[in-house]
Chain A
Amino acid sequence: MKRAQIAVAVVLAAPGLRAQGYRLRLDNRAQSVSFRGVTLDSIPASDTVSGPGGGPATPDGYAVTCGSNGYCIFYRPGAEVHAVPISSTAGFLLWGLGLPGLSVHGLARRTVQAGDSGSWPVTSPAVELLEGYAEYATERVTAQLGRQNVATRLGYTGFDGGRVMLRDAGRGLDLSAFGGWGLARGFALPVTSPALNPLDEFRPQSRQLVVGAGAGWRRARFDAHLDYLREVDPSTRYFVSERGAFDLAVRPLPGWSLTGGADYDFAAGLWGSADVALRYEDPTGRIAAEIGARRYRPHFDLWTIWGAFSPVPYGAVDLSVSASPIRALRLRATGERYRYDDAAASTPLFDAKTDGWRYGWGATYTLAPRWSFDGGYHAEFGPGASSRGFDATVTFAARERLDLSAYGSTLDRPLEFRYDQSSLRAFGLTADARPASWIRVQLDAGRYAEDRRRPDAAAFSWNQVRAALRVILLFGSEADLAGVPPAVRGMPQAGTP
């Protein structure tokens, strides 16, 4: 009976399928990378010797930390781990299904791993469905059903469910609502997946239910948007999170914009992250400048205990400038100064930094139509870890469809909580080829020389070659174009006659 119904449905739908269109994009990536961590080891306290600094050390020079149990622990350099993750992401779009406005969207990824087994994260499960939904869209209504993601200030919320959006273009209003079974934060898997619990710690027993709503108002001079998101554990009916957010963009004068927004955690009763920025962009594109302030407070789901540890936010002011004094030269500079709120946990035993800054500057110079140079310096100094270094790239547009680049960089990376000051030198080559409109190939091969500087035997130096390959293939019902030369090669730039 069921088969007969399916057959009838297929027969009825067949006439409408004649005008179907599709697009398929295959994005294949692979990289070869090595990394080296640490290995915990121990030694009887009685076997230790006095190290160069006077503290206890192993006979072969590793600084140790001794406990009351008669043993001392230390960390040896870990084994060199070689990982070769390979991922293929297939995105497809299908329309012309007999009902105008109906389309099907999908994005799935398959990941396999060569090299040392289990050496790279996010390689399990082998197949992920990032998105897969049917959409029905008209001038005023869009409805989606299936696995999807909603991007708001509150993050990128994934769920299996439905979403409806209503629009009134004349008034600039839009409303949306969605609901379904949620996915984990930053992953296309349910939070119950073992892949997201590598250390076998607290984990909900069931997927959270997600409901959300949004409202926006767009006018010529401003845009405003409100979002609300609630996640509930269906097994306990307790909240996983409950947050709201607003965003605002104001354009008072040509070239000027004021943007900002904030989120509020209803569960904790605290304002979360927020930002505001005043930006000016010269209409000719020769200069752009932005000054802003922001505040960052991490958000933790209520099924963890971390929110109860009272993470404190930091506040920051930032400035960025980009200018082209001459046509071939683009200069850029950015800087940010930040300071944490009082953590109310300071002790005389350890003085952690409470502020930091980041800055960077650089330039892009087009030496000739085919040659360009980009170089810059970046530095970050703050609690926990710091880094500073130079980057430089020379790019040669060998042909219209082929770019070749050579790059080099330096990096010094001191840590605040561990003697592990790292120095890195890297250089390499990249190629970006677009031999036809349906294929793109990118290749990167670089040599990395790392030097971990420590005052004991755990210091080490090692070199490695990292390589990455990316092949993008495009297919579609529109790709079977006749071999007639096109008369128009491109749209005119806005404002040109």
Chain B
Amino acid sequence: MKLAPVLAVLALDAVAGLSAQQSARFDHARHAKVFATCTVCHAGAATPAAPLWPDSAVCGSCHDGTIQARVTWQPPATPRATNLRFEHGAHARAVAARGTGASEPLACVNCHLAEAAPWMAVQRAAIPRCLECHGVKTAHLAAPDTACATCHVPLAEATGLAAAAVAKFDAPPSHQDTAFVHGAAHGAAARAGTPIAASCATCHARDFCLQCHVDAPEQPAIAALPRDPRATAIRARLSAPGSHGDGTFLATHGAAAREAPTTCASCHTRESCLTCHAATVRVAAAMPAAGPDRGIGAVIVRRPPPSHGADFARRHKVSAAVAAASCASCHTRADCLECHRPGAGRAAGYHPVGFLARHPAAAYARETSCSDCHNTAGFCTSCHARSGVVARGQLRPGYHDVSPAFIAGHGAAARQNLESCTSCHVERDCLTCHSVIGGRRFDPHGPGFDPNRLIKKNPEMCTACHGRNIPTR
């Protein structure tokens, strides 16, 4: 019963050992007495046509399972993914051709063995050693722009590098300064090379710049970089310039944009402007139109100004009248017509959901002016006609059945709510009684009626009741 766990542990151990055997780095020091030279295994380091890695059969000559435990190592199938332009043979030849003055040709141990280290205490080539030989006096990431290309190829040429490896690139000290990233300094640094600084191209491709720059086609330095989607593995975190945080910025940015449109165009497309200035497209003319070779740039979130607080829809009339240009900065007339010329399919908007059921109260005493948005005849009367609540033909009592004498005392209600009356009644209903011609001659004119003025403006309406004998006062 206890045997099973023991066997399981042994099995796991065996598997783990096999796995470690395959992936562990070659223990050079353990083989110090076996190999006298590096090129026994790494012939390619000296002979251009030879492979850099030994054949697995060389290992198998000892590790055959009898002399030594069998190993399953295989040389890498593909070259190491790197952005180094280093190649052992070429490097050795170049050193030899340059005539460094060294007493001996450059040997493997010059780079892969620390000073005074025993034979075969092999290590990776250390960057400081490269810098030392190449005369670079600074730290690696602070090296001058002219030094980068000595060892590195541009990112776009380092095709073997995965995006994850690009994301792990260490940032140079200069990039820690926010002013460098957010200000003009990085642009100046990029333009230091022709057409772009090699230090930029080593880690970046155009896609990196496109995360922020919408003016990429207009910037020769950016345009000189090839496209490479791996470049976005290094994420740009660009925040708005300090000027944009000024409380008056929204009010003054128009003048600033007119003064230096190219500055704005670094981060803003026309789309930025049109997010708010949908009605005044001319303000966006200086900005580049968004496109596939440009960055999206600043994504503007349109927010209502503080004046648009609760209930603004009800009280916007004065603002719209006195400052229409301000409204037009952000609103097209389509925004206005959304409510002022509502479509038939519209269920809610200015009015809340279910307003159809409660509209009589709001409409009777005109909570607001219905006719600003609805044509009484085309909208109110038309719908009331379909509902049977219009007077057709002879005017009869019966609908207003709360009071049997409503028709006799309706005058006050009519003068108060005449717009409501006209949503069900037409002129002939009223002329039945209120007409001199064929009616009962009940005078409908009330407070404020000025016949002389109305006759002057439009006597035609007077003739509806009075014919050609229009009286004056």
Q: A302-B454, A478-B289 are in contact. List 16 more A-B contacts (CB 8 A).
A: A31-B347, A89-B334, A100-B282, A105-B333, A148-B333, A151-B320, A155-B371, A247-B318, A261-B317, A296-B369, A298-B419, A312-B416, A383-B364, A417-B406, A486-B295, A493-B303
A345 touches B412 (CB 8 A): yes
A308 touches B462 (CB 8 A): yes
B271 at the interface (CB under 8 A from A): yes
A93 touches B321 (CB 8 A): no
Chain A residues with CB under 8 A of B371: 155, 185-186, 298-299
Complex CA–CA separation, A431 to B414 (angstroms): 43
Interface range, B side: 35 or more
Which residues of A (394-447) have their CB < 8 Å from a CB of B?
A: 407, 409, 411, 413, 415-419, 422, 424, 426, 428, 430, 444, 446
Contact with A along B45-87 (1 / 0, CB 8 A): 0000000000000000000000000000000000000000000
Chain B residues with CB under 8 A of A44: none
B461 at the interface (CB under 8 A from A): yes
B295 touches A482 (CB 8 A): yes
Given A238-B459, A310-B415, A350-B403, A490-B301 contact (CB < 8 Å): yes
Chain B residues with CB under 8 A of A290: 315
B377 touches A196 (CB 8 A): yes
B211 at the interface (CB under 8 A from A): yes
Chain A residues with CB under 8 A of B374: 186
B290 touches A481 (CB 8 A): yes
Contact with B along A219-232 (1 / 0, CB 8 A): 00001110100000
Complex CA–CA separation, A488 to B238 (angstroms): 6
A89 touches B343 (CB 8 A): yes
Interface hub of A303, A305, A448 (most chain B Cβ within 10 A):
A305
Cross-interface CB contact of A91 among B332, B396, B430, cutoff 8 Å: B332
Complex CA–CA separation, A61 to B417 (angstroms): 32
Given A21-B270, A37-B388, A350-B405 contact (CB < 8 Å): yes
A484 at the interface (CB under 8 A from B): yes
B315 touches A277 (CB 8 A): yes
Which residues of B (309-346) have their CB < 8 Å from a CB of A?
A: 309-311, 315, 317-325, 332-334, 336-337, 340-346
**CB proximity of B158 to chain A, nearest CB, Å:** 20
Complex CA–CA separation, A65 to B453 (angstroms): 42
Given A87-B344, A153-B321, A269-B453, A484-B267 contact (CB < 8 Å): no
B298 touches A488 (CB 8 A): yes
Given A149-B333, A249-B319, A407-B353 contact (CB < 8 Å): yes
**CB proximity of B170 to chain A, nearest CB, Å:** 20
B274 touches A23 (CB 8 A): yes
Given A130-B341, A309-B415, A236-B460 contact (CB < 8 Å): yes
Which residues of B (394-428) have their CB < 8 Å from a CB of A?
A: 396-406, 408-420, 422, 426-428
Chain A residues with CB under 8 A of B372: 155-156, 186
B383 at the interface (CB under 8 A from A): yes
Contact with B along A273-293 (1 / 0, CB 8 A): 101010001010100101000
B250 at the interface (CB under 8 A from A): yes
B101 at the interface (CB under 8 A from A): no
Complex CA–CA separation, A299 to B370 (angstroms): 11
A322 at the interface (CB under 8 A from B): yes
**CB proximity of B354 to chain A, nearest CB, Å:** 5
Complex CA–CA separation, A36 to B382 (angstroms): 14
**Stretch of B17-25, B30-38, B184-192, B441-449 lying at the A interface:** B441-449
A252 at the interface (CB under 8 A from B): no
B124 at the interface (CB under 8 A from A): no
A343 touches B378 (CB 8 A): no
Complex CA–CA separation, A418 to B269 (angstroms): 61
A46 at the interface (CB under 8 A from B): no
B127 at the interface (CB under 8 A from A): no
Chain B residues with CB under 8 A of A304: 422, 427, 461
Which A residue sits closest to B255, measured CB to CB? Answer: A169
Interface hub of A152, A266, A380 (most chain B Cβ within 10 A):
A380
**CB proximity of A363 to chain B, nearest CB, Å:** 12
Which A residue sits closest to B211, measured CB to CB? Answer: A487
A198 touches B361 (CB 8 A): no
Contact with B along A65-84 (1 / 0, CB 8 A): 10100000111001001000
B337 touches A497 (CB 8 A): no
Given A149-B336, A224-B322, A267-B454, A201-B426 contact (CB < 8 Å): yes
**CB proximity of A229 to chain B, nearest CB, Å:** 12
A354 touches B416 (CB 8 A): yes
B426 touches A199 (CB 8 A): yes
Residue contacts A-B, CB under 8 angstroms, 11 given? A35-B387, A40-B392, A202-B427, A239-B458, A346-B411, A347-B408, A380-B365, A446-B354, A482-B293, A487-B212, A487-B235
Given A267-B454, A342-B447, A306-B422 contact (CB < 8 Å): yes
Complex CA–CA separation, A311 to B212 (angstroms): 62
Please give me the 9 A-B residue pairs with the lowest Cβ-Cβ distance, nearest first: A350-B409, A37-B387, A384-B364, A345-B411, A310-B446, A29-B345, A468-B347, A87-B343, A85-B344
A444 touches B457 (CB 8 A): no
Which A residue sits closest to B253, measured CB to CB? Answer: A491
B390 at the interface (CB under 8 A from A): yes
Complex CA–CA separation, A470 to B345 (angstroms): 9
B375 at the interface (CB under 8 A from A): yes
A344 touches B447 (CB 8 A): yes
B118 at the interface (CB under 8 A from A): no
A185 touches B418 (CB 8 A): no
A75 touches B388 (CB 8 A): yes
Chain B residues with CB under 8 A of A306: 418, 422, 427
Interface hub of B245, B346, B406 (most chain A Cβ within 10 A):
B346
B299 touches A489 (CB 8 A): yes
